[in-house]
Structure 1
Amino acid sequence: MNFVFALIALSFLIFFHELGHFLVARLFGVKVEVFSIGFGKKLFKKTYGDTEYALSLIPLGGYVKMKGQDDSDPLSKNADLDSYTSKTPFQRILILLAGPFFNIFLAFLIYVGFSYGNHQVLLPIVGGLQKDMPAEQSGILIGDRILEINGNVLKTWFDLAHIIQETKDKATFKIQRGEEVLEVGILPFEVERTNPFGEKVKIPAIGISPSGEMGNVYCGVFDALRLGIWQTIANGTLIIQGIEKLIVGVVPTSELGGVVGIVQVMNKAQENGIAQFLALVALISINLGVLNLFPIPALDGGHILFNLYELIMRRPLNEKAMYYLTLLGWGILLGLMCLGFYNDLNRIFKE
């Protein structure tokens, strides 16, 4: 049952992506011929207005079929006013951007929902000091609570760690020691750490560890929105970096996963509670949004690139070039899908 729920959740993310295309296409007067939940044979279909709404056999997302758009023939055009191909390049770009934007916006909403309200958090209280590191040398003691760094108020240990890692120069720390509030200046040292991609990197550190003390912190609307934006940007950046590392060979291609692997991970996340499951859903939603913006002709990013060319050069890309680039894009996409599927099966049989 959990597996089915994970599959439905993944399907919803792709459906939500297509919903973005659908709504903006309708906004610009494009006729949407089909809006399908799932792929393959249509199990149920009903026409409302100009659109056929369908429930199809394979529940992995869905698709929107716009008038004048034909993925099997990228050169086809329709001059009718309600056709996708009759719209200006700028309008088509907005239609294409809507899908990825909806995925990223959905993740943002999940992060905001998580952040708002009362939470039990790890407090920024010092529980350990490393010898000969900046914190010890500055006079910070175990039990000190760090209130601010350079005027930035700290509510959690996560806030503290994040700000320290972004600090390059000497910073002013405001600390509470019993009833007394003190200010100390600390210049972080660069220490070697292993990043999520297995690379050795140098990051600023001051040599402290948390006490483990938890506390109740309230996060209001504006703080929740700020944290939602920050988490969305941070995770989107991490995904882009991961793709970059995959391209240059830092991350092996064996780490690439497909639909089976994603559903497996989502299924396992459910066992750790709804919070972890929704956090993973948000991350996968950002992943779908970011990946679809990559300039591969079979993806939204590739079509955006074609339309940007037409917008700037005031003429469409050469038909022959567009045709072969589209075929190349589909080849790349199918190759990646096959590799991901192979890796998923390989991992399953090794377990």
Structure 2
Amino acid sequence: MWLLISILVLSFLIFFHELGHFLIARLFGVRVEVFSIGFGKKLIKKTIGNTEYAISAIPLGGYVKMKGQDDLNPTLQNRDDDSFNTKAPWKKICILFAGSGANIMLAFLLYIVIGVLGINSLLPVIGETMQDSPAMSAGFTKDDKILKIDDKDIKIWRDISDYVSNKNKPLLITFERNREILQVTLTPKIKDSKNIFGEDIKQSFIGIKAKGEIGKVTYKVSELIPFAFNETIYSGKMILLSIQKLIIGILPTSELGGPIAIVQIISQATDSGIIALFGITALISINLGVLNLFPIPALDGGHIIFCIYEWIVKKPLNENVLYRLTIFGWVLLLCLMALGIYNDISRIATKTP
């Protein structure tokens, strides 16, 4: 069952990505010749209008084939009015960006659903105050529940660190103690710390540790859009930071995962319930959207760079250069995929029973 759910989730994300390309292409009058979920042999296909819709044998992917566009051989172009090639560079950029935009929008909508249904989170209840810390000096004690810092409502423990970590001015903290609402003002201190990647950083702190209480947190209608927006931005930033740390060597390449790792993560989320599944689906959707915008020639981001070049110099990139860059992009992607699969298999082989 978990394998079927994993395939359905990935197919749904790919469908949404390709639907973004499809809708904006049609909006700008580009003929879409094929809309396929999956690669390889077409198992099911049906032509409606000028477009062939298909489900193909390999479910880990999908594509929209627009008239005048050939990713394997970009020199094969068509100059008809309904061809992708004849559209203005800004229109082509919109079409190319639409896939990633659809994935990011999908994640945003999933986070709204999560906010409505409620998510189990670490609650902002104090378990301990540190010696000689601002919190201890301000009189905080165990079981105090932080409700607000300045004008920022605190719903989960992460809200505290997100707000305090870069503040060095007095903070007005509203908290609950024995069903009484109290307020106190304190000024954070700067201390040496480590981020999630193990790097040494300077960070503001007030000196409290979480009690460890887990509870279901829901959001009011007025809070849903800010919550979904913040979660989408936070997830996107974490993905970009992780990639940056991989590139500069802070994270080892063994941390790179492939399709097997994705299926395992979806399987674990499925076992944890529908909310966890929605959460991991949103995260993978943002991952798909962000990675497709990277300036690798075989990805949407690479094609966007080509369009920007065309927009600036008023002519397309040389066909031979375009072809060679595209081949390089495909080779790079295949190498990264092979590395991800190798890492997945290595993790499974070395996992203790």
Bin the TM-score by the shorter chain.
Answer: over 0.9
Aligned residue for 2:348?
348
* Partner deviation per Cα, 1:233-262 (whole Å, 9 max, x = no partner): 011001001111000011111111111221
1:12·1:61 contact (CA, 8 Å) conserved in 2? no
State the match for 1:58 in structure 2: 58
2:54 pairs with 1:30:
no
Within 2, Cα distance between the matches of 1:122 and 1:268? 19
- Counterpart in 2 of 1:327? 327
Cα 1:303/1:274, change in 2 over 3 Å:
same
Residues 1:342 and 1:120: Cα distance change in structure 2 (over 3 Å): closer
TM-score, structure 2 length as denominator? 0.92
CA positional deviation for 1:123: 4.4
Greater mean alpha carbon deviation, residues 169-178 or residues 297-306:
169-178
Going from structure 1 to structure 2, the CA distance change for 1:119 and 1:288 (only over 3 Å counts) comes to: closer
- Shift in Å, 1:189: 2.1
The CA deviation at 1:184 is 2.6
In the alignment, residue 241 of structure 2 is paired with which amino acid?
Q
Q: Which moved more, 1:303-312 or 1:147-156?
A: 147-156
Aligned to 1:185: 185
Given residue 255 of structure 2, which amino acid in structure 1 is its aligned partner? E
Q: Matches of 2:216 and 2:14 in 1, distance apart? A: 36
More off after superposition, 60-69 vs 242-251: 60-69
Check 1:163–1:293 CA distance in 2 against 1; reply closer, same or farther (3 A cut). Answer: same
The equivalent residue for 2:198 is 198
CA–CA separation in structure 2 for the residues paired with 1:85 and 1:31: 11
CA RMSD across the alignment: 2.1
Counterpart CA distance in 1 for 2:119 and 2:242 is 30
Residue 320 of structure 1: how far off its partner (Å): 2.6
2:268 equivalent in structure 1: 268
The structure-2 alpha-carbon separation of the partners of 1:207 and 1:300, relative to structure 1 and needing over 3 Å to count, comes to same
SS at match of 2:272: coil
Q: Which amino acid aligns with 1:107?
A: A
Residue aligning to 1:208: 208
Q: Deviations over 1:110-159 (max 9, x none)?
A: 11111125667654343321111110012223343433212223334333
Q: Following the alignment from structure 2 to structure 1, what is the Cα–Cα distance between the partners of residues 222 and 72?
A: 46
Match of 1:139? 139
Mapping of residues 1-351 of structure 1, within 5 Å:
1-116=1-116, 122-178=122-178, 181-212=181-212, 218-351=218-351
d(CA) in 2 for partners of 1:164, 1:106: 30
Aligned length: 351
Report if aligned partners of 1:117, 1:220 keep a CA contact under 8 Å in 2.
no
C-alpha distance in 2 between matches for 1:337 and 1:216: 37
Give unmatched runs, 5+ long, in structure 1. none
User: In terms of mean alpha carbon deviation, does 4-13 or 181-190 score higher?
Assistant: 181-190
Counterpart Cα distance in 1 of 2:279 and 2:118: 18
**Could you tell me whether the CA contact under 8 Å between 2:72 and 2:326 is conserved in 1?**
no
Change (3 A) 1:221 1:137: same
Q: More displaced, 17-26 or 147-156? A: 147-156
Displacement, 1:36?
1.1
TM-score (norm 1): 0.93
